[in-house]
Structure 1
Amino acid sequence: MSLINISDLTFAYDGSYDNIFENVSFQIDTDWKLGFSGRNGRGKTTFLNLLLGKYEYSGTIATNMQFEYFPYEIEDYSKLTIDVIHSIHFDFQEWELIRELSLLDVSEDVLDRPFSTLSNGEQTKVLLATLFLKENSYLLIDEPTNHLDSKARRIVSDYLKAKHGYILVSHDRKFLDHCVDHILSINKTNIEIQKGNFSSWWENKQMQDNYEMEENEKLQKDIKRLTKAAKRTSDWSNQVEARKIGFDPTKTEKSLTRRAVEGAKSKKMMKRSKAIEFRQCQAIEEKSKLLKNIENAEQLKISPLSFYTKTLVNLEDVSIFYGEKQACSNVSFTIEQGDRIALCGKNGTGKSSIIKLICGEQLTYTGKLEKSSRLVISYVSQDTSYLKGNLSEFAVLHNIDESLFKTILRKLDFTRTMFDKNMESFSGGQKKKVLIAKSLCEKAHLYIWDEPLNFIDVLSRMQIEELLLQYQPTILFVEHDTSFCETITTKRINL
């Protein structure tokens, strides 16, 4: 067992006035299988990069561990896969690599193929196998599930479960539940570590949030009651004080002791007023400690259009080709109004090709595709690399209401400072939220989303689930988050 001690860690990017971390202290046991959770932009990848020594910071990170980060940067995708692996890690036995590939359900013949010809899922598995060849390093695994199909996610989660300690960034709830035993969460105002998986952490968080909201409600009532009582007691005290001064007790009440009686009563009232004020200050102080880490997950809205016929799209025996290569064969299904269809299948079975064909991309295909020319489609692509410039320019370019667009992003946990930044500086999850917010601004008959949840944090996933269940737009989507699919799908198409 080794420890990673973080003490008074403070960090901000150059040119930024906002600290990502401020005086943060906690401790990590390297035997833990540590799931790393938090909303997009809170600094998960930044923290991993701080462990790697990529940035200067104040405070201390004390450990004797060597760190290894996933995913690796690949300089030349045209190289053979075995050469790509050697460029990352040159000191290994080939039988060890083949063992790791076998555990990940990858055939060893991929080693003799150009890395660029592997599917996204195959590339991810090969790089994970390479990562686990480095047995003497502490592994920092950042979003390994992106582009992995459901079966591959189960294989990788089983694979990770059998491994030693690591830090794993993921927003897939079932994936985390299966292969972590501690959760490190970046909250609004602090960082905390709890023993257990994601579900147990989420249950504890909801209990804590509910407790704080109940306490907040009680304290608000107490403060209101004490404020009235303090004012009432203060008024009484002032009245008594006024009666004590400015009159002759021998003429008014024929009593020489009256002034002393009024003085004692005034003093008692003043003391009581100060006690109430003290209790009021205590209640306000207690209230100020609450609700700081409660995440705002406001409801999202969408405005789907109604189509004049029940059937929106019909495919019959569709096969798609890229040159001589066949992407999919004999695909048949119908999209009707109100359907929420999950397009499922292993990586490389043609899911994205089907989506592109329906969206109107000029692909070579056989079979029959029927859709109305008046069908309005809103599309979210996998790719976010083209996002450049600021959000206002993006809204103008795509002819969407800027105010509505930014309101949706605020509900998806964008801070107002993000609105002044260029999208090149956004995290992967924030870029994906830009595309989803754009789609939610668009009035469409059919929404088509290709892996919309890549990099998206858990709370935002739940917001999107609630949106789709409440407004029930017609949607065709590719997504490998099992929890999401089980919650919102009305029909599954298996390729």
Structure 2
Amino acid sequence: MSLINVANLTFAYEGSYNNIFEGVSFQIDTNWRLGFTGRNGRGKTTFLKLLLGKYDYSGTISSSVVFEYFPYEVSDTESFTIDVIREISPNALDWEIMRELSLLDVTDDVLYRQFFTLSKGEQTKALLAALFLKENSFLLIDEPTNHLDAMARMILSNYLKSKNGYILVSHDRAFLDNCVDHILAINKTNIEIQKGNFSSWWNNKELQDNFELAENEKRKKDINRLTAAAQRTSDWSDSVEKSKHGTTNSGSKLDKGFVGHKAAKMMKRSKSIEGRQQALIDEKSKLLKNIESSETLKIAPLRYHTNRLVELSDISISYGERVVCSDVSFTIDQGDRIALQGKNGCGKSSILKLICGEEIAHTGILRKNGSLKISYVSQDTKNLSGTLTDYAQFNCLDESLFKAILRKLDFSREQFERSLEDFSEGQKKKVLIAKSLCEQAHLYIWDEPLNYIDVLSRMQIETLLLEYQPTILFVEHDSAFCSNIANKIVQL
């Protein structure tokens, strides 16, 4: 066992006035399976890169271990997969490579296929096998589940459960619950570590948040009561002080010494109350600093003049000689919240694009009315550029509404001035979702909308879909999200 010691870590990007981390200190045991969570843009990937020594910072990070970061960039995707793995882990023996691939449910034949011919899931698994073949390294695994189907996620989660010595960034609740034994959480004002999985951490956070909310209300009432008491005592003191210059009801002169003593006593009591009041104000200021804002989102779905919106009958799609799906039949009626499920490469995205009107060669029958309004969220964020204002104008969005939605999804106002190219992947996905929420549509089609999206925002989106119940067809591999949202499942 060895430790990673972080002491008084402070970091800000060049040109930024806001620190990503400020005076952060904690310890990590290198035997832990550490889940890393926090809202998009809080600095999870930044922290991993600080461990790797990519940026200058104040404070210290000390450890005797070597850090290894995933995902790897493959420079030559035309190489055979076995050569890609050997380049990453040159000391690995063939039987060790095959053992790791077998644990990840990948067949040996992928080793002698060119890397670019592998599916996204197969590529991810091959690179993870290479990662865990690195000896004496502490592994930094940054969102490995994106684009993996539900079965692949379960296999990967069980694989990671059998290992140790890593930090895992993921926003998939069920995935984290199965494979981690500690949680590292970036909150609004601090970083904390707790033993347990995501659900135990979240339960503790909710208990702490509820306690602080109750304490905050109690402090507010106590402060109001003491404020009133201090004012009354001050008024009494002033009144007594003024009476020093008067007379009693019988006409005799007042004992000025007695009156002065009484006024001073009341003033002292007033100052004591003010001191207690200030102490409560100081205690209150320490509460609620890590309460996450989770404002309610809104959507404006349109009603269609018929109940049935789309019908697919015996749809088959091929790319050249490769058949991606065949004989697909299902209907979309108003009120349906349909999860389209299946293994990677089985044609889910192609079906979505076909319904959206893309020119995709197919056989079978697709029926939909030409007046049907569809709002589409793509997997792809590569084409986002310019500012949010530029994006809103180009897509004919109500800019105020668009930015208000992003604020509710935890965007800061400073973010509005930055270029979209500089956004984190999670923030880019939020831009696409906010655009869709701005659009009035009969049917919402979302293709893996939650890739890179933080857990709290996933919960916000779940609440939105359950409250407004728009008609939606979606592909998503987050099992908790699908279980909570879908009222119909189509399995390819």
* TM-score above 0.5: yes
Query: Unaligned 5+ residue runs, structure 2?
Result: none
Residue 333 of structure 2 is matched in structure 1 by 336
Query: Unaligned 5+ residue runs, structure 1?
Result: none
Q: In the aligned structure 2, how far is the partner of 1:114 from the partner of 1:134? A: 22
Please give the secondary structure, in 2, of the residue aligned with 1:382: coil
Q: In the aligned structure 2, how far is the partner of 1:254 from the partner of 1:151? A: 96
- Shift in Å at residue 8 of structure 1? 0.6
Q: Answer yes or no: is 1:281 the counterpart of 2:278.
A: yes
**What are the equivalent positions in structure 2 for 1:19-418 lying under 5 Å apart?**
19-244=19-244, 246-247=245-246, 253-255=251-253, 258-418=255-415
Task: Specify the code of the residue in structure 2 equivalent to 1:456.
Answer: I
Number of aligned residues: 492
Task: Specify the code of the residue in structure 2 equivalent to 1:71.
Answer: P
CA deviation vs aligned residue, 1:77-109 (integer Å, no higher than 9, x gap): 222212222232222101101100000000111
Task: Specify the code of the residue in structure 1 equivalent to 2:305.
Answer: Y
Q: Identity percentage over the alignment? A: 68
- Shift in Å at residue 247 of structure 1? 4.1
Q: 1:438 aligns with which of 429, 435, 442?
A: 435
- Shift in Å at residue 248 of structure 1? 6.7
Q: In the aligned structure 2, how far is the partner of 1:369 from the partner of 1:78? A: 37
Q: In the aligned structure 1, how far is the partner of 2:15 from the partner of 2:85? A: 37
Please give the secondary structure, in 2, of the residue aligned with 1:326: strand
- Shift in Å at residue 254 of structure 1? 2.2
- Shift in Å at residue 76 of structure 1? 2.1
Task: Specify the code of the residue in structure 2 equivalent to 1:60.
Answer: T
Q: In the aligned structure 2, how far is the partner of 1:183 from the partner of 1:135? A: 24
Please give the secondary structure, in 1, of the residue aligned with 2:225: helix
Please give the secondary structure, in 1, of the residue aligned with 2:359: coil
- Shift in Å at residue 286 of structure 1? 0.7
Please give the secondary structure, in 1, of the residue aligned with 2:111: helix
Q: In the aligned structure 1, how far is the partner of 2:247 from the partner of 2:341? A: 95
- Shift in Å at residue 165 of structure 1? 1.8
Q: In the aligned structure 1, how far is the partner of 2:164 from the partner of 2:397? A: 48
Q: In the aligned structure 1, how far is the partner of 2:113 from the partner of 2:256? A: 103
Please give the secondary structure, in 1, of the residue aligned with 2:22: strand
Please give the secondary structure, in 2, of the residue aligned with 1:228: helix
Task: Specify the code of the residue in structure 1 equivalent to 2:45.
Answer: T
CA deviation vs aligned residue, 1:433-475 (integer Å, no higher than 9, x gap): 0000000000000000000000000000000000000000000
RMSD value, Cα: 1.1
Q: In the aligned structure 2, how far is the partner of 1:86 from the partner of 1:16? A: 40
Q: In the aligned structure 2, how far is the partner of 1:343 from the partner of 1:457? A: 22
Structure 1 residues 262 and 154: alpha-carbon distance in aligned structure 2, compared to 1, 3 A threshold: same
Task: Specify the code of the residue in structure 1 equivalent to 2:476.
Answer: E
CA deviation vs aligned residue, 1:226-256 (integer Å, no higher than 9, x gap): 1111111111101111111x3477x97425x
Residue 11 of structure 2 is matched in structure 1 by 11
Task: Specify the code of the residue in structure 1 equivalent to 2:159.
Answer: Y
CA deviation vs aligned residue, 1:359-400 (integer Å, no higher than 9, x gap): 111011001000111110000000111111110000000001
Q: In the aligned structure 2, how far is the partner of 1:291 from the partner of 1:43? A: 21
Task: Specify the code of the residue in structure 1 equivalent to 2:411.
Answer: F
Q: Answer yes or no: is 1:480 the counterpart of 2:477.
A: yes
- Shift in Å at residue 302 of structure 1? 0.2
Task: Specify the code of the residue in structure 2 equivalent to 1:394.
Answer: Y
Q: In the aligned structure 2, how far is the partner of 1:226 from the partner of 1:385? A: 57
Please give the secondary structure, in 2, of the residue aligned with 1:312: strand
TM-score, structure 1 as length reference = 0.98
Q: In the aligned structure 2, how far is the partner of 1:377 from the partner of 1:82? A: 43
Q: In the aligned structure 1, how far is the partner of 2:333 from the partner of 2:367? A: 12
Please give the secondary structure, in 2, of the residue aligned with 1:306: coil
- Shift in Å at residue 40 of structure 1? 0.3
Q: In the aligned structure 1, how far is the partner of 2:423 from the partner of 2:215? A: 36
Task: Specify the code of the residue in structure 1 equivalent to 2:420.
Answer: M
Q: In the aligned structure 2, how far is the partner of 1:346 from the partner of 1:114? A: 21
Residue 461 of structure 2 is matched in structure 1 by 464
Q: In the aligned structure 1, how far is the partner of 2:27 from the partner of 2:382? A: 35
Task: Specify the code of the residue in structure 2 equivalent to 1:395.
Answer: A
Q: In the aligned structure 2, how far is the partner of 1:75 from the partner of 1:57? A: 29
Task: Specify the code of the residue in structure 2 equivalent to 1:158.
Answer: N
Q: In the aligned structure 2, how far is the partner of 1:207 from the partner of 1:23? A: 26
User: Structure 1 stretches (4+) deviating beyond 4 angstroms?
Assistant: none
